[in-house]
Amino acid sequence: MENHCQTIINLARTHGIIRPRDLNILGLPRVTLSRLVRRGELVLVGRGLYAIPDRTVSEHGTLAEVARRHPQGIVCLLSALQFHDLTTHTPFEVWLAIPNKARAPRMAYPPLRIVRFSGDALTEGVQEHLVDCVPVRVTSVAKTVADCFKYRNKIGLDVALEALQASWKVKRFTMDELWHAAAVCRVANVMRPYMESLT
C-alpha cells in the first residue's frame, strides 16, 4: 500500500493535478487518494482534482484545473487575452471553446463560459502551454484577436480593439498571421480597416 501511496504522490508531482481516472490507467486503487488527503500528503483542489499541498500555483492555476478536468476544451477570448497578458480586464469566468455538438462541460469552480466553434475556427491557432505541470490548450495571440472581433457583440468592440493594438505594439504576431486568423474566423472584412490603420 505504501508503494501505491508513493507512486500517486510522484504522479501528482509530475502532473501537477491528478484525477481518480489517472489512477485507473496505472491500476492503482482510488481509495488511496482519500487516505493521502487524510494524511495531508495530498489536497483536494477541486471536485475530483488532487495535488500535493506545497505545489507552486501560478497566476493561471485555474486554467490548469479546467484543463485537467476538460482536456479537450480550448482557453479562448477573454481568458486567452489574460493568459497572453493583453488585456486590463480580469474575467471571473474561464472562457472555453468546445466543438459545436459537444456536451457542455460543467464545473462548480471556476465558472465556465462556453463558446462553440467548428471546423478550422476550432482547430486553427491552438497552442499547448504547460501551466503548473498541466498541458493547457490556448488560442494563439493572432487567433485570440480574430476571435475577439468575431465575438465582439459578446465581449465588446473596445476589448477587441484594445487586444489588437496591445498585441501589435509588442509584436506578438505578424500581419500575415493576423490575416490568416481573420480569414479562418471569417472577420477579415470587419477587421480590415482596423488592421490597415496599424501599418
Per-residue pLDDT band at 9 (split at 50, 70, 90) = confident
Residues 108 and 126 grouped into a single domain: yes
Per-residue pLDDT band at 83 (split at 50, 70, 90) = very high
Residue (of 158, 154, 117) closest to 139 by Cα position: 117
Residues 173 and 91 grouped into a single domain: yes
Question: For residue 166, what are the CA distances in angstroms to 59, 88, 97, 126?
Answer: 20, 10, 23, 20
**Domain total for the chain?**
2
Give the pLDDT confidence of 30-68 residue by residue, as tens digits. Answer: 788 888 888 887 877 777 778 777 776 666 778 888 888
Residues 77 and 135 grouped into a single domain: yes
Residue (of 55, 63, 3) closest to 29 by Cα position: 3
CB-side neighbour CA atoms (13 Å) of 117: 29
Residues 28 and 109 grouped into a single domain: no
Domain that holds residue 16: 2-51
Residue 91 lies in a domain: yes
Is the pTM higher than 0.85? no
E strand or H helix at 116, and its extent?
strand 112-117
Residues 100 and 23 grouped into a single domain: no
Residues 89 and 10 grouped into a single domain: no
Residues 19 and 65 grouped into a single domain: no
Residue 56 lies in a domain: no
Residues 177 and 88 grouped into a single domain: yes
Report the greatest alpha carbon distance in the chain.
65
Q: What is the mean pLDDT of residues 9-20?
A: 80
Q: How far apart are the first and last CA of the chain?
A: 64
Residues 86 and 156 grouped into a single domain: yes
58, 78 contact by CB (below 8 A): no
Residues 41 and 76 grouped into a single domain: no
What is the spatial distance between Cα 187 and Cα 169, in angstroms, rounded to a whole number? 21
What is the spatial distance between Cα 188 and Cα 164, in angstroms, rounded to a whole number? 13
Residues 15 and 113 grouped into a single domain: no
Residues 33 and 69 grouped into a single domain: no
